[in-house]
Structures are given as structure tokens and as C-alpha cells.
Amino acid sequence: MLKELQFSLSIVLLLACGFLYQITLRSYCLFSCLPSSKFQQGLDALLSQGHSIVFLETSERLEPPPLVSCAVESAAKTYPEQPVVFFMKGLNHSTQPPSNSSHPGLSLLSAMDNVFLSPLDLNRLFEDTPLFSWYTHINSKAEKHWLHVSSDASRLAIIWKYGGIYMDTDVISIRPIPEENFLAAQSSQVSSNGVFGFLPHHPFLWECMENFVEHYNSHIWGNQGPILITRMLRLWCKLRDFQELSDHRCQNMSFLHPHRFYPISFSHWKRYYEVWDTEPTFNNSYALHLWNHMNQGKKTVIKGSNTLVENLYRKYCPTTYRHLVQGPKG
């Protein structure tokens, strides 16, 4: 009788340990521990639905800082039924997954059901686009702004091939964008390339890629990015100043009012890191661009500071805030 009781207790203990082990895996392991179906699904099949949210990391960095994590998490929360694909140059198909202890941000993102981490293969990406001949002949080591130029090119090719919405990794999503083909105005007659969306094989993006190669000059900052997009938009549309909060319509695409993504302009980027007497509601915005290029790591999110950016993290990327900002003690 005693042996049977000991055996039964042993079985219960083993089951309990197994249950706790599964919980631990779900909470802390990296993408190698996720359901295998998530990775058996081919990238083309994943993106072919045409409504993915796309982020890019063209450096070799594997651990996303809190702002990048917040951008991806906020998109995953805002678009729960859509795949959020984070292309990372540092990943490759033969690389062993990094450990959670050294890459907590990457582990955090990979545990989200609709977030997919993918290697960024530029050679494959640019195939069958006007960018392929340019890429195969360029000496990337001699390029002054290669990380930015390669990112400018990649976002055009990805959205042209597959469709969806591209976002910079310093853009916090707050509500769904109701447009299919759109560009984001940074100011009255200037377009950003930090957020845009199109259906697959849209001719505007094809012409942008052709113009990218024809007028390539990486020494001019933004020449392959917002300057290119604005130049092409002016060929397609007759631009005029925005009236109140109305968006512009042109042919089969929209040019969205600056308040949709840039309610705080680049010259006032520090306002995100200040305490407001009355915080803005951003009722007319779909997402917020935090101007990380202007910041350059000068200011960060500090727990308990009650700054605008801390409160944005709490609301739109709470998991990032809890694990990467607040920390275990919080």
C-alpha cells in the first residue's frame, strides 16, 4: 500500500514538474522553442496574404533595444489578425538561436503569436526587381550610409513583391490604418518613407525602384528614401497644402495628413521625453514616429518618469515596458 502511494505521488510530482516546465518554456525560450508550424510555413506563403506589417533591421544587431521591441509589439497588438514580420540581417538559416539571457528582447518578440522573425537575404529579395543589377554591382563597404540605403531599397522591394505596410522600428502603432495604398506626409508637400503601404505589385513602387537606380547618390542623406518618395509622388500627383485634417487622394492611392504619423514634428522630438501637464490624445493619428534618428540614444524611457513616452510604452507595448524598462522588481 505504501509503495502504491509513493508511486502515485511520484506520478503527480512528475506531471506537476512537466506543467511548470512548459510554462517556463512559453515564457522564456527563444524562437526555437515555438511551435514548429510557425517556421515550417514558408516566408512567401506567410507574406502572400498581402496584409503583413513589415519591419527591417539592416545591421547585424540581434538584440532589439526597447524602442524597436515596442514598435513591433504595438503593431502585433494593433493588428492581431495580421502577420508582423521582422526581417533581420543578423539572422540566417544556419545560425543557432541566441540564448534568452543575452537576447531578452528577441525572446520577448518571438513569443508573440503573430510576430515572425526572418533572415534578411538581400540578394534573394532584390531578384526580379530593378534593384538587382544595382545591388550585385555595388560595393557596400565603400558606401557612406549603407545601412540606411539598403533599408530604403529593401522596404520598396518587400512591399512591391508582397504588399502590406512597412514601418520604421521607431514607429509606435496606436490604431489600425484604414488605407491599402498610401504614403505618409511628413509635412505639407513632403513624404516620409518611414511608413507606407501598398497592395502587391503596385506600379508606384516599381517606378520608385527604377528611379532609385537611375538617380542613385548615397552621399546625399535621404536621396534614396524620403527625397526619392517625394520626387516620385510629385510626378504622380499634383501636391497642394493640406486643409485642416483631410487626407489627399491621388489616382489610386492616398497621401495621409502629417497628423496621422507625425503629430509631433522632428524639430520637437524631445517632447516625447518630457512630462506633459495634459497629454495629447492623438485621436487623429494611426501611429507615432519617435524620430530615433534625431535622438541617437540621447534620451531613453525611464520608469517612473511619467514622461509621454513612458506612458505610451505602458499603453501600447506593455510587455516591452514590463520586461525591458520596468524590470523584474517592477
Whose grid coordinates read 526597447?
Answer: 66
277 DSSP assignment: S
Of 156, 160, 165, 159, give the one whose Cα is nearest residue 78: 165
Q: Is residue 278 part of a domain?
A: yes
Burial class (CB in 10 A: 0-12, 13-18, 19+), 28: middle
Does the residue 24 lie in any domain?
A: no
In a domain, residue 330? The reply is: no
pTM passes above 0.75: yes
Specify burial of residue 46 (Cβ count, 10 A radius: 0-12, 13-18, 19+).
middle
Domain boundaries, position 260: 38-324
> Model confidence over 136-168: pLDDT tens digits?
999 988 888 899 999 999 999 999 999 999 999
207-217 residue pLDDT tens: 999 999 999 99
Nearest-angstrom CA–CA distance, 163 and 115: 17
Helices (H) and strands (E) in the chain, counts: 13, 10
CATH number at residue 247: 3.90.550
Domain count, the chain: 1
> Residue 104: inside a domain, yes or no?
yes
**What 3-state class would DSSP assign to 250?**
strand
Average pLDDT over the chain, rounded to an integer: 86
Residue 29 placed within a domain: no
329 or 79, greater pLDDT: 79
Q: Is residue 17 part of a domain?
A: no
Q: In sequence order, which residues have a C-beta less than 8 Å from that of residue 19 and are 6 or more positions away?
A: none
Is 8 inside any structural domain?
A: no
Kindly state whether residue 231 falls inside one of the protein's structural domains: yes
Give the β-pairing of 53-57 and 164-167: parallel
